[in-house]
Structure 1
Amino acid sequence: MKAFKVVGIIILLLAGLILIVPLFMPETSSVKATKSIEASPITVFRQVNKLKNWKNWSPFENDSTMVNAFEGSEQAVGAIRSWDGKKAGTGKMTIVESEPYTKITNKLEFADSQGIGSWKFDQQGDSVIVSWEITIKDLSYPFARLMGPVMKYAMEPLLNSGLSSLKEYCEKQTKPAIINIIYTEGISGLAIYDSVRVAGIGNLLEMNYGSLMNYIKKRKYSIAGAPIAVYHNWDPMGYIRISAFIPLEGKFNGKGNIKEFNIVPGKAVFTKHFGGYDSGDTHWAIEDYLKDFNIKTKDFIWEEYITDPATEPDSTKWQTNIYYPIKE
C-alpha cells in the first residue's frame, strides 16, 4: 500500500509539473540558420520567392508521398503552396511580404499550429549572407509548449541542410544579367515599319537598314546614334511587327515607306547583352526582373545595336542595349 501511495504521489507531482511548468513557458518557439553563398542575391532570392523552386533545395522534399498544390500568384506576395504527406503532414505556406533581393516573409499554417518563415539576403561583396528563421506561434497548452524548446534541436539541422543545398544549387548557376532602371532621353529619326516571322527578322532588318542608310546618305542627314530595332509585339507563332530605326539629328524628312519616328523620353528597364543577336535569355532575365518588382511596361521594346559586325568579327563582343519602357 505504501508503494502505491508513493507511486501515486510521483504521478501527481509529474502531472502537476506537466500542467504548471507550461504556464511559465513561451507561446512561441524560433529556430534560425545562416549561410554564406557565393552567388548573386538575385539568384538566391528567386529560389525562395518562387515556391515551385523549393524542390531544388528544400530539406522538406524527401517525403515521396507528399502531394503539392500551388495557387495564387506565380511568385512573390500571394503565392501559395499547400502540401499533404505521411512524413510532412498537412500544411500551407503563403508569401505575405517580398522585397526584391533583400527580404521574404512566409505565413505558415499547420494542422495544429501556425507560424512565420523569415528570409533575409544581405550582399557581402561577391557573396550573400542568407538567414532563414522559422517561428511557431500560439503553442497550445500544455504539451505543445513543453515541446517548443525541442523544436530548435529538431529543426536547426534541417534548416542548415536546406541552406547547404541552396548554396550548392545557386553556386552552380550562371550570374544573372545586370539590370536597372534608367531615364532615357527622347530619340528622333527615320524608320521603316514592317512585319516578319521570327526566322526572317535578321534578313528583314538588314534589308531595311540598307534602305534607310542609302536614303540618309543621299540626303546627307546627320546620324545621331546606333541602329535601333523597335519591337511592337512578340508572337513566336505569328508575325513580329518591327520598326528598323536610325536616330538622326537636325532636320530630316521621310518619303514613301520611310517615316519620321520618335521614342519619347521616360523611364525604362535597361540591360546590356553581349554576344550574337539571339538575346532570348537576356529578355527572359528582364521578364524575371519585371515580375520581381511588379513593373508594368509599355506595349513595345527596343534594341540598340552598339557594335558593327563589319568592324568586330568576334560575335562574343557584340553589344546590344535593351530597353523596356515603363508605364508611368
Structure 2
Amino acid sequence: MLRLRNYVGLGMLLLVGLFVYYLFIKTYDYQITFNARTAPGTVYYAISDWEEALGKRGLANVIDSKGVHFSHLDQNLKIGDSIINLKWKLEGLNDSVTKITARIKDLENSVITRLENIVKKPPLEQILISKMSDFKKGLDAHLNRFKVDVAGEDTIPGKFYAYVEIKSSLAQKARNMIANNGGILGWLREHGFKILGKPTLEVTHWNVEKDSITFNYMFPVNELDSLPEHGRIRFKNYPSRKAIKAIYHGNYRISDRAWFALNDYAKRHNLEVEMTPVEFFYDNPMMGGDELEWKAEVYMPIKTNVSLK
C-alpha cells in the first residue's frame, strides 16, 4: 500500500512538473516540422519572400526579422491582435533535403494560449497552420521551377574577358544583365572583338545579410594588340581555378539557387570555398521556350593559393 502511494505521489509530482514546464518554461507554443528537397539557402530566401508576401496581402505586419547565414531566421509578425514570434531552423539532412522546423510563440498571450491548447484548438493555431500550409505549397511550387545537380569538384576554365561591374540584389541580377547586354555586345563588335564563348557572371562580393551582390557581367573575347577605352567596359584574364560545380536548369533569375546548393555541399564535404560564384549561361532567355530546358554551369571556387594552368 505504501509503495502504491509512493508511485501515485511520484506520478502527481511528475505531472505537476510537466504542467509547470509546459506553461512557464517551454520557449514556444507550437512546433511545425517538414522536409523540402532543396538546400537550406533556398528555403531561407523562400521564407523571406513569404514574409514579404504576407505584408503585401495584409495578412500580417512584419515587425522584425533577422537571420543567420541560411540556418536560422527569427521573425516577429503581428497577426490580428497577437504578436507572433517565429523561430526557423534549417538543417541540411543530405545534399538534397532540408529539415525545416518552425517554433511559434504568442508573445503577448503565451500562457493563455497554452491553457487553451489543453482543452481545445485555439483560433490562432488554426490561422498559423493555414499560413504554414500556404508557405509549404508555395515552396513546393517554387522548387518545381528549377533543378540543380551538384557534380562535385571541377575546374573553372580560364579566359580573357570584357566585362562591366554591376551592383544588385539577388532578385534583380538577371534584369541587370539583360539591361546591359545589348550595349556591351554592340560596343565590342563595333571595336572588332569576337565573342568566344558563353555570357558569364562572376560575383566579387556577396552580402548575405543585406541581400546584395557586386558582380562582373562578362563576355569571353579575343585579345587585341591595343584595347580601346570605355567608361564602364573593362578587360581582364580570369585564371583557371579549382571549384565545385553544379548544373542548373531553370530561369536565370533564380540561378542563385545553385549557389545555395554548392555552399551546402561544401559544408557537408568539409571544403573551404569562396562565396564568389561564377556562372556560364548556355541559353538566350530572349528566345523563350521551356525554362526548365535553360542551362547554366555554376561554380563555387575552392580556397587555394594556387591557380591551375
* TM-score normalised by L of structure 1: 0.48
Q: For the Cα contact (< 8 Å) 2:160–2:237, is it kept in 1?
A: yes
Matched, 1:103 2:92: no
2:154 aligns with: 184
Bigger CA radius of gyration:
1
DSSP 3-state at the match of 1:73: strand
CA distance in 1, matches of 2:188, 2:295: 15
How many residues are matched? 244
* CA deviation after TM superposition for structure 1 residue 324, in Å: 3.1
Do 2:259 and 2:277's aligned partners in 1 also have CA atoms closer than 8 Å? Answer: no
Per the alignment, in what secondary structure is the counterpart of residue 93 of structure 1?
strand
1:103-132 deviation per Cα after TM superposition (whole angstroms, max 9, x unaligned): 123444444787xxxxxxxxxxxxxxxxxx
CA 1:109–1:260: 2 relative to 1, 3 Å:
closer
Change in 2 beyond 3 A, CA 1:43/1:176: farther
Q: Tell me the percent identity.
A: 10
* CA distance in structure 2 between the aligned counterparts of 1:159 and 1:202, rounded to whole angstroms: 50
Distance 1:322 1:108, change over 3 A: same
Return closer, same or farther for 1:151/1:43 CA change in 2, 3 Å cut-off.
farther
Query: Is 1:265 matched up with 2:242?
Result: yes
* Residue 73 of structure 2 is aligned to residue 79 of structure 1: yes
Please tell me whether residue 244 in structure 1 is matched to residue 220 in structure 2: yes
Higher relative contact order (CA 8 A, sep 6+): 2
Distance change (3 Å), C-alpha of 1:107 and 1:22: same
Q: Distance in 2 between matches of 1:35 and 1:261?
A: 42
2:47 maps to which residue?
A: 50
Structure 2: state its 5+ residue gaps.
Answer: 1-11, 24-28, 167-179, 206-213, 228-234, 268-272, 304-309
Q: Tell me the TM-score normalized by structure 2.
A: 0.50
Distance (Å, rounded) in 2 between the aligned partners of 1:157 and 1:232: 46
The answer to whether the aligner puts 1:92 opposite 2:85 as a matched pair is: yes
Task: Select the residue among 285, 289, 292 that pairs with 1:316.
Answer: 289
Match runs of 1:28-39 below 5 Å: 28=22
Say which of 63, 80, 89 aligns to 1:69.
63
Cα RMSD, aligned residues only: 5.7
Change beyond 3 A, Cα 1:150–1:22? farther
Counterpart of 1:271, as a letter, is I
Amino acid at match of 1:79: L
| TM superposition shift of 1:244 | 0.6
Contact kept in structure 2, 1:31 and 1:152, CA below 8 Å: no
Q: Tell me by how many angstroms 1:77 deviates.
A: 3.5
Compare 199-208 and 27-36 and name the one that shifted more: 27-36
Distance 2:34 2:104 in 1: 22
The reply to whether residue 283 of structure 1 matches residue 260 of structure 2 is no
Look up the match of 1:223.
Answer: none
5+ residue gaps in structure 1?
1-20, 115-138, 214-226, 247-252
2: distance between equivalents of 1:33 and 1:73?
Answer: 19
CA 1:212–1:172: 2 relative to 1, 3 Å: closer
Return the letter of the residue paired with 1:105.
T
Note closer, same or farther for the CA distance 1:82–1:321 as it changes in structure 2 (3 Å cut). closer
Cα distance in 1, alignment partners of residues 302 and 13 from structure 2: 56
Call closer, same or farther: CA 1:98–1:51 in 2, change over 3 Å: farther
Deviations 1:173-211, CA, capped at 9 Å, x for gaps: 5723212433223635x6354548914234356678964
Cα gap change, 1:52 to 1:82, in 2 (>3 Å): farther
Give secondary structure in 1 for the equivalent of 2:81.
Answer: coil
Give the deviation of 1:78 after TM superposition.
Answer: 4.1
In structure 2, what is the equivalent of residue 150 of structure 1? 119
Maintained 8 Å contact 1:56/1:169: no
Q: Give, in whole Å, the separation in 1 of the partners of 2:289 and 2:280.
A: 17
